[in-house]
Structure 1
Amino acid sequence: MYTNLILLVSFVAQIWAAPNKQNDGMHPHLPVNPIGSLKVDPAEDTSAYWNENAQKTVQEIISRQLNENVAKNVILFLGDGMSIPTIAAARVYNGGEEIQLAFDKFPYMALSMTYSVDKQVPDSATTATAYLGGVKANYGTIGVGPEVPREDCLGMLNVSNHVLSIGYYSQLQNKRTGLVTTARVTHASPAGVYAHTAERDWEADSDVLDSFKDPTVCTDIATQLVYGETGKNLNVIFGGGRNRLLPEEIEDEEGHDGKRVDGVNLIEKWLEQADDRQYIWNRDQLLALDTSNVSSILGLFAHAHMDYNLDRDTTMDPSLAEMTKAAIEILSTGDNGYFLFVEGARIDMAHHDAEARVALDETIEFSKAVQAAVDLTDEADTLIIVTADHAHTLSYSGYASRGNDILEFGGNGIDGRVYTTINYANGPGYKMSDADGSRHDISEDDYGDDHYAFPSVAPLDSETHGGDDVAVYARGPWAHLFTGNLEQNVIPHLMSYASCVGTGYTACDAAN
């Protein structure tokens, strides 16, 4: 009995003594189990504080006036892979549990169901067809309906299978249009604005050849950007991906080879289509633009995807907020309004690598871009939607005290070893057991490294998407329509209703 008691006391002592290890000093944190917790306001310890805050919110909600103006402008922000746990964790990363991101302040919100026609958990291609084109389709396809299986070249050539985006319909109403992304401009999400393809990976003709298809028949996405009915009419194209537009024998401005094998320089071909077109490739050129005097502009700021913000050369590479600001200023010079698509693409890519710190930092950069749009636009005539295409497997759990570093420990397991607040269901952060068979001691890792791969349950080279619903935030004309639980493909139909574009029922029809 005494032996068992000694073992129990020893085990409890191990748990309480489990390392609250300080990292490199750059990210100090509170202990996992401190006495008390961090308060933003000492008054939080009173019931009156919470009652007063709640009553203030009630008054704000009941005083809202419905905005039923026609939306002259529509901006769709897409946080790629920005799951609800990602948003909650990003708030803490940004300063505290109570900190609101820019879109948290929007008055209306819905949930979006993201599954595709053939998959429980979707990818960024089929979801782009849904939230931009209004039709759910098959995994890996963009801008074509569910009639087209993946890699069905003949099916994608049949124009009756094409799904037309809200960008296309906005152009029909003489609105200016644009896209901004931190990925390649030919990547799955931005391609949803202008492309029709049975394979998301066919970004250049060499990619089509890699699939043993004929690129003269299966038109690659970059070619559709330059010559396609919607792509060729875009006024603003900002992002990465020079390599998909340049031949392999040509180096770009930073010494990287192109990927095209047809010998066609699509950047030059894009410029040749009109005398007033401009091409830029670095931050200085972007910031030097006279945005009041730009008709059409192509800005390619990286040979492939743009760098993560934490790795970004701020002297050469613009931020997402800077690109967004310039795009809005350029598009605002038109008389008939505009449609703009803005993607924070690299939230998703960081999650795939289980690099939670990077993913949360990219979410904050995305929030800054949303705030830039809020600051530049008028809620009376501009509808802003913020959503995600799909979730990820990141979880936010444990019983860490208020104010604890979101990227450190959430508590201690019954084995006396710590576990992180942020974890993934699968991915490259899987930790093998120690030599003695015990759970890996995470406290010994260099978890303060920006690119540390956070723990996962199952080992995979790349963490998967999640199938849970994602949030939709709305501000501006007809924003109150974005409530409840929506099929993802309803989103562009509501945007079209608010802005009186497309072939469906619109606010202008209702007014007549």
Structure 2
Amino acid sequence: MLSLLSGCGTDSFPPASVIPEHQQNNPWYRQGRDEIGTRGAPTGVAKNVVLFVGDGMGISTVTAARILAGQRAGMSGEEHQLSFERFPFTGLAKTYNVDAQTPDSAGTMSAMMTGVKTDFGVFGIDEDVRRGDCGSAEGNGLVTALELAEIAGKSTGLVSTARLTHATPAATYAHSVERDWEDDSTLPAEALAAGCSDIARQFVDFRQRLARRYPEARIDGIDIALGGGRANFLPVEGSERGSGRRGDADLVGLWLEENPDGHYVSDRETLLAAPPTGPLFGLFSDSHMNYEGDRPDAQPSLTDMTLAALERLVKNTNGFFLMVEGGRIDHAHHAGNAAGALGETIELARAVKAAVERLDPANTLIIVTADHSHTLTMGGYPRRGNPILGKVVLPGEEQPALAEDGLPYTTLGYRDGLGFRNFGGETNSDVAYEQPPSTGRVDLTDVDTTAPGFHQTALVPTEAETHGGEDVAVYAIGPGAAAVSGVQEQSNIFHVVNAAVGLDIAASAALADR
């Protein structure tokens, strides 16, 4: 049977090994394992792990979101702290992909999930692969932290405000030579002919393909999965993303058949009313979920989904692994809308706070980080307490400062992107794409730059704002958290988690016991 671990081809992992030999021998893996070992990181001290990923949440985003949250609370803002900024340990992660100086979410999340850096646009496989070429995946598949948790008998879950088939959540459970193959309608004919599997199908088939790889393990599948992306699982004509899947494949129905004790939910009401036991699968929009700023009451927030997941996962006395993504930080940045990105970051901080309050810090490692940054900049010498989304007002002054061209300017801006937009009270960042990129300076004298629909100017006009390439911060609390300190390769995050929870040891022991 064709292996879904690598997206196509035959099984590519040695059946006797939990972590395949080529993964353990990969230079990135060896370096990370050795570095964490030299830090004296204790092994197996945590029972649970929660990995929060703010997609695109660079340091400038965290700083600006901190100030905005503080200003919303009536402070000047600079002295404020987001929930995760109070964590006792902080480090920096180098985010580059093997083949890219400025990375994408697929390669970066794959590094965090496997301990191995890989190429731009792929996940769950190492760098010895050609993007979009199924055959090149043969023998290059990698085991993820979530898969190790499954083999070890822990409960597993993923939560995202993006599509569950999008790069960051998908990198926890899927293996693909092309991040864009989210459903079968996106696979080219040659990939289908080669037996490649789309990402939505890999999600539904997760338990079976992992059980085929480790038949002696007791695999019960992903316990909780909540987010967007309904169209990738259903043949929905006229859906937000298009026509949905080819033919009449109903993957939600198939998931329910495979999980007779499971529950499918499609809005906040059914999520909160779902029975407390059994697997839970929630799809709350055809594509990505709404931005927090324009989220309808019928749609759960990131905090709602996080708490719903935790309420179920904590029941496993053997522990759990949960990944939570604030996915729309990235999308607002791509649209050039700082207000939207900061609002999403603040909501992620709320979810982190809720998780910290719900969990036992003595046995749970919580890590908050980003997969990559964006080109958001902050400057201009604004006075203390100046509105972070406002125009620059210098210390001791009352009126906005003027640049050499005689025009006012904002504290926040982008290096590249779609540029200036003035949509007033509009809270959907994606409307930015309705107009072509703007160039040059704009007179902002009569523009309310603090409005949610204001999109900052950009230096270089591009079809969308790009990622940044600088390091991102890593915040941690709980057993083993000290190992995130310092400047490390992003792939080391896997090794921090693996050491703290003892995932590989527990997985190997689970197989030996059976």
Same fold judged by TM-score > 0.5? Answer: yes
- Choose from 400, 408, 411 the match for 2:390: 408
Q: Is the 8 A contact 2:152 2:506 kept in 1?
A: no
Is structure 2 residue 427 aligned with structure 1 residue 425? Answer: no
> Which residue is 2:178 aligned to?
199
State the alpha-carbon separation in 2 of the partners of residues 217 and 458 from structure 1.
Answer: 42
Matched to 1:404, the amino acid is: N
Is structure 2 residue 330 aligned with structure 1 residue 348? Answer: yes
Q: How does 1:223-302 map to 2 (within 5 A)?
A: 223-228=201-206, 229=209, 233-249=221-237, 258-291=243-276, 294-302=277-285
- Choose from 104, 109, 115 the match for 1:134: 115
> Which residue is 1:482 aligned to?
484
Greater CA deviation, 255-264 or 345-354?
Answer: 255-264
Spell out, residue by residue over 1:282-325, the C-alpha distance to the aligned partner (whole angstroms, 9 max, x if none). 0011122343xx220101111110000111102x0000001000
Spell out, residue by residue over 1:56-109, the C-alpha distance to the aligned partner (whole angstroms, 9 max, x if none). xxxxxxxxxx98871100000000000000000001110211111010000001
The SS at the match of 1:193 is coil
| 1:275 Cα deviation after fit | 1.7
Q: Is the 8 A contact 2:43 2:501 kept in 1?
A: no
Is structure 2 residue 375 aligned with structure 1 residue 393? Answer: yes
| 1:219 Cα deviation after fit | 0.7
Matched to 2:263, the amino acid is: Q
Are residues 319 and 379 of structure 1, via their aligned partners in 2, closer, same or farther at CA, if it must alter by over 3 Å? same
Are residues 258 and 178 of structure 1, via their aligned partners in 2, closer, same or farther at CA, if it must alter by over 3 Å? farther
Q: Is the 8 A contact 1:71 1:498 kept in 2?
A: yes
Matched to 1:109, the amino acid is: T
State the alpha-carbon separation in 2 of the partners of residues 504 and 324 from structure 1.
Answer: 25
Q: Is the 8 A contact 1:242 1:304 kept in 2?
A: yes
Q: Is the 8 A contact 1:497 1:504 kept in 2?
A: no
The SS at the match of 2:264 is strand
Q: Is the 8 A contact 1:67 1:479 kept in 2?
A: no
TM-score (structure 2 length as normaliser):
0.79
Q: Is the 8 A contact 2:340 2:452 kept in 1?
A: yes
The SS at the match of 1:225 is helix
Q: Is the 8 A contact 1:248 1:263 kept in 2?
A: no
| 1:132 Cα deviation after fit | 1.0
Spell out, residue by residue over 1:148-176, the C-alpha distance to the aligned partner (whole angstroms, 9 max, x if none). 121011123x2x21111100001111000
State the alpha-carbon separation in 1 of the partners of residues 241 and 122 from structure 2.
Answer: 28
TM-score (structure 1 length as normaliser):
0.80
State the alpha-carbon separation in 1 of the partners of residues 338 and 387 from structure 2.
Answer: 13
> Which residue is 1:116 aligned to?
97
> Which residue is 2:161 aligned to?
182
Matched to 1:429, the amino acid is: G
Q: How does 1:165-176 map to 2 (within 5 A)?
A: 165-176=144-155
State the alpha-carbon separation in 2 of the partners of residues 471 and 318 from structure 1.
Answer: 27
Measured on the aligned residues, the alpha-carbon RMSD in Å equals 2.3
- Choose from 196, 221, 234 the match for 1:218: 196
State the alpha-carbon separation in 2 of the partners of residues 111 and 244 from structure 1.
Answer: 35
- Structure label with greater radius of gyration: 1
Q: Is the 8 A contact 1:283 1:317 kept in 2?
A: yes
Spell out, residue by residue over 1:405-460, the C-alpha distance to the aligned partner (whole angstroms, 9 max, x if none). 100112431233211100000000158xxxxx994212233534423221110001
The SS at the match of 1:485 is strand
Q: Is the 8 A contact 1:430 1:459 kept in 2?
A: no
State the alpha-carbon separation in 1 of the partners of residues 170 and 42 from structure 2.
Answer: 31
State the alpha-carbon separation in 2 of the partners of residues 355 and 313 from structure 1.
Answer: 20
Are residues 232 and 123 of structure 1, via their aligned partners in 2, closer, same or farther at CA, if it must alter by over 3 Å? farther
Q: Is the 8 A contact 1:408 1:421 kept in 2?
A: yes
- Choose from 452, 459, 462 the match for 1:460: 462
Q: Is the 8 A contact 1:282 1:317 kept in 2?
A: yes
Are residues 257 and 351 of structure 1, via their aligned partners in 2, closer, same or farther at CA, if it must alter by over 3 Å? closer
Are residues 341 and 188 of structure 1, via their aligned partners in 2, closer, same or farther at CA, if it must alter by over 3 Å? same
Q: Is the 8 A contact 2:149 2:507 kept in 1?
A: no
Q: How does 1:319-398 map to 2 (within 5 A)?
A: 319-398=301-380
Is structure 2 residue 136 aligned with structure 1 residue 146? Answer: no
Matched to 1:141, the amino acid is: V
Matched to 2:284, the amino acid is: F
Matched to 2:294, the amino acid is: D
Query: Any stretches of 5+ residues in structure 2 without a counterpart?
Result: 1-40, 71-76, 211-218, 393-400, 422-438, 509-514
The SS at the match of 2:470 is coil
> Which residue is 1:308 aligned to?
291
State the alpha-carbon separation in 2 of the partners of residues 389 and 336 from structure 1.
Answer: 28
Matched to 2:149, the amino acid is: S
| 1:258 Cα deviation after fit | 4.9
Q: How does 1:63-142 map to 2 (within 5 A)?
A: 70-95=45-70, 96-142=77-123
| 1:248 Cα deviation after fit | 3.9
Question: Percent of aligned positions with the same letter in both sequences?
Answer: 44
Query: Any stretches of 5+ residues in structure 1 without a counterpart?
Result: 1-65, 432-436, 507-512
Matched to 2:390, the amino acid is: E
Matched to 2:118, the amino acid is: A
Spell out, residue by residue over 1:471-508, the C-alpha distance to the aligned partner (whole angstroms, 9 max, x if none). 000000011111110100010111010001126999xx
Matched to 2:385, the amino acid is: G
Are residues 282 and 419 of structure 1, via their aligned partners in 2, closer, same or farther at CA, if it must alter by over 3 Å? same
| 1:256 Cα deviation after fit | 8.5
| 1:212 Cα deviation after fit | 5.7
Spell out, residue by residue over 1:97-147, the C-alpha distance to the aligned partner (whole angstroms, 9 max, x if none). 111101000000110000000000000000111011111011000111001
